């Protein structure tokens, strides 16, 4: 079955530390891939997206993500986390040019001062 997996429900990092949030998908072909961030009480904001080409994509707020076809992964990274990055992060895929975003279950990021 088609699915998007974010294996970490919660992650806690210290401010200034590096961050990696994991995302794996299971689809036959390479779908379009996205990372969204949701702050408490807010809607979702797009951080970055991958359609094709360079497998390392840069996004807003200093985030980047790397697409690895062999691992069916699209992990999100940030070299130095700020307290304002505390939020919930969602990986999403759009399979088969369907316009239908399939979201993972989300990873809640907590930042220690």
Partner 1 sequence: DAGVIQSPRHEVTEMGQEVTLRCKPISGHDYLFWYRQTMMRGLELLIYFNNNVPIDDSGMPEDRFSAKMPNASFSTLKIQPSEPRDSAVYFCASSGGRGTYEQYFGPGTRLTVT
Q: Does 95 bind partner 1 (CB under 8 A)?
A: no
| Number of CB atoms found within 10 A of residue 102's CB | 16
44 touches partner 1 by CB under 8 A: yes
Q: Does 67 bind partner 1 (CB under 8 A)?
A: no
Confirm or reject binding of residue 108 to partner 1 (CB under 8 A).
Answer: no
Tally Cβ neighbours within 10 Å of residue 104: 23
**CA dist., res. 100 & res. 39, Å (int):** 22
> Taking a C-beta distance cutoff of 8 angstroms, is the pair 80, 16 a contact?
yes
Give yes or no for residue 103 binding partner 1 (CB under 8 A): yes
Q: Determine whether 62 is exposed, middle or buried from the number of CB atoms within 10 Å of its CB (0-12, 13-18, 19+).
A: middle
100 binds partner 1 (CB under 8 A): yes
Binds partner 1 by CB under 8 A, chosen from 14, 71, 105, 112: 105
- Rounded to a whole number of angstroms, the minimum distance from the CB of residue 3 to partner 1 is 11
Dist. CA 5–CA 90, nearest whole Å: 10
Q: Is 27 in the site for partner 1 (CB under 8 A)?
A: no
Does 2 engage in binding with partner 1 (CB under 8 A)?
A: no
Residues making contact with partner 1 (CB under 8 A): 32, 36, 41-46, 49, 51, 90, 97-106
């Amino acid at each position: 079955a088609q699915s998007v997996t974010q294996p970490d429900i919660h992650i806690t990092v210290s401010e200034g530390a590096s961050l990696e949030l994991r995302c794996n998908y299971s689809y036959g072909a390479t779908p379009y891939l996205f990372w969204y961030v949701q702050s408490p009480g807010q809607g979702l904001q797009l951080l970055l997206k991958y359609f094709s080409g360079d497998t390392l994509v840069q996004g807003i707020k200093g985030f980047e993500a790397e697409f690895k076809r062999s691992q069916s992964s699209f992990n999100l990274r940030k070299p130095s986390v700020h307290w304002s990055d505390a939020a919930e992060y969602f990986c999403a895929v759009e399979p088969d040019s369907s316009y239908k975003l399939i979201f993972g279950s989300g990873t809640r990021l907590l930042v220690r001062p």
